[in-house]
Amino acid sequence: MLKGKPQVSMYETSEAKKYKKEFIKYIKEQVKLQNWEMSEDRFQKYYVDCTFYFPRTNMDSNNTYKVLLDSITQSKCVWLDDIQACERTQGIFYDTINPRVEILLHPVDFVGVFPTVMQLDNFKSNCIHCKRYKEGKCSIFKKACEGRIQEEIKDFICTKFNKIKGEM
């Protein structure tokens, strides 16, 4: 317990540790082979599309994600933290001869609270004419880019917009 609060920790089997070590090595090889560019933007999210081919029918994809995402994070060459992962199961199959997980990683289409980059750009084009904006330092704009839902934004319009005097 930390300061009277319960703490959960995952027990990692020796099999899981061995798998992670080998998987991290594989990730590093693939990153180099595929010329993956790691973003330092901690708010950039990534879809992690997985198709599972389990050796047995009593296996669970949710338990597998923890090891996969932790390994990708520990490789330090895909993303900064697995909080950036948006995992999506594309299929679960059973293959006793060749069990595997097929993974496709790619950046999400949305940026913060904005469904598309175009909607972000439209929102920002209004922001730059607002007194609050000051070189991108508007807290409302910043929080929106972080994905924080705010009362000040209604239908992708900022209700706190205050036009800079003297602008047309």
How far apart are the C-alpha atoms of 160 and 126, rounded to whole Å? Answer: 11
Tell me the whole-structure pTM to 2 decimals.
0.80
Say whether pLDDT at 9 is over 70: no
- Per this entry, what is the length of the chain? 168
9 belongs to a structural domain:
no
Tell me, what DSSP letter sits at residue 40? Answer: -
**Same structural domain, 124 and 95:** no
**Same structural domain, 33 and 64:** yes
Classify 131 as helix, strand or coil.
Answer: coil
User: Domain total for the chain?
Assistant: 2
**Same structural domain, 125 and 97:** no
123 belongs to a structural domain:
yes
65 belongs to a structural domain:
yes
**Same structural domain, 52 and 76:** yes
Confidence of residue 63 (pLDDT cuts 50, 70, 90): confident
Question: Where does residue 39 fall: left (phi above 0), alpha (psi -120 to 50 degrees), or beta otherwise?
Answer: beta
Say whether pLDDT at 2 is over 70: no
164 belongs to a structural domain:
no
**Angle subtended by helix axes 61-75 and 14-33, to nearest 10:** 60
Say whether pLDDT at 68 is over 80: yes
**Same structural domain, 97 and 125:** no
Domain with 49, as residue range(s), is 16-107
* Residue 92 token pair: 């679960």
Model confidence over 94-145: pLDDT tens digits?
999 999 999 999 999 999 999 999 999 999 998 888 988 877 689 999 999 9
**Same structural domain, 82 and 153:** no
